[in-house]
Amino acid sequence: MRTVLITGAARGLGFASAATLYRRGWRVLAAMRSVEAGLAALRAETGAAADDPRLLGVRLDLCDPESVAAAAAEILARAGAPDAIVHNAGISAAGTVEETPPELWQRMFATHVFGPAQLTAALLPGLRAAGRGRIVLISSAGGVRGMPMISAYSAAKGALERFGESLAGEVAPYGIGVTVLVVGVFDTEIITDDGTFAFRDFDGPYGALHATVDRRGRAAMRIARPPAVFAARLATALDDTAPYARHAVGADAAALVASNRALPAAAMHQVVRLAMGLPRYRALRAGGIRLGLATRALLRAAELLPAPVTRRITLPLLRIHPTQLPTEAAR
């Protein structure tokens, strides 16, 4: 009987994964903040008895180092070193860098990076002694690219992936592997208004951007797949044998991962901008005006051509269309 530790098992992808792996014969250590309510829901979902030794709850608050240390000690005392650790717990937040407070960044990194790193470090001696184990990190589109309007979440997921890459190189000689799952859009609470911390000021300087991104985000929710689909893919990933593996889960995640691999960074920046409906570079700067195609071509020619040639081109235009030339402020 193999043992798996799943963080954030009270809801969403973690809940579906705990139920699926329990049904497949795993002993599940379901780590969550509210153990009683979470275990009751899992028992109702799986039909497990209250005293079933294959479904155990572990109290865990990743933002509290003392809670992380206590959870690690409890895991080792009740089940020994687990065969697999799934770092699934996560929070989401919408807001630009300018809008999100420092406290949100602290909580975001504690949940996605600091807490998982501390928990992993506490359990690694047991995994090394056993000479086996698989550590799975749940990433997302925000971990593949720095996504605008969710800057804190995206930064934390990116850090989580770099943590996983570093960890894989360190633990591979001891028989321990690392898998990163880049997850697309799934129908869980985290993609809803109730499951997201919102710091968006729709009346502020980024209001128009928020409105556009919000509309497109809600439209993207129509492709959200059920959490059970993710849970089945996770079950397969737990059988990975490579020292490091990275898989996309969902067609949208697969498309992003493939594009990011094939295109240069500057091109991907434009792809993300267009997909989210964001304005072009300098479009919203103070004091600027929108220049027409002919005017922009003229400015570009002035930059490239020798001054005598530029004067020969522009003087006739000044006599015919003097108002079409941009002012110095517009430059």
Say which residue the tokens 């434009």 belong to.
270
Whether 313 contacts 301, CB under 8 Å: yes
> Please, how many CA atoms are within 13 Å of residue 312, restricted to the half-sphere of its CB?
5
Q: What is the C-alpha to C-alpha distance for residues 292 and 294, in angstroms, rounded to an integer?
A: 6
- Name the residues annotated as catalytic: 153
Beta bridge partners of 5: 29, 85
Using alpha carbons, select from 41, 40, 150 the residue that is nearest to residue 95. 150
Q: For residue 72, which of 5, 26, 21 has the smallest C-alpha distance? A: 5
Phi-psi sector, 93: left (phi>0), alpha (psi -120 to 50), beta: beta
Residue ranges of alpha helices (H) inside the chain are 12-23, 35-46, 65-79, 102-109, 115-130, 141-144, 151-171, 207-220, 227-237, 251-262, 265-276, 293-304, 307-320
Tokens of 189: 């609470």
Contacts of 187 (CB under 8 A, 6+ apart): 221, 224, 225, 226, 227
Q: Do residues 176 and 127 lie in contact, with contact meaning Cβ atoms separated by under 8 Å? A: yes
CB 88 within 8 A of CB 138: yes
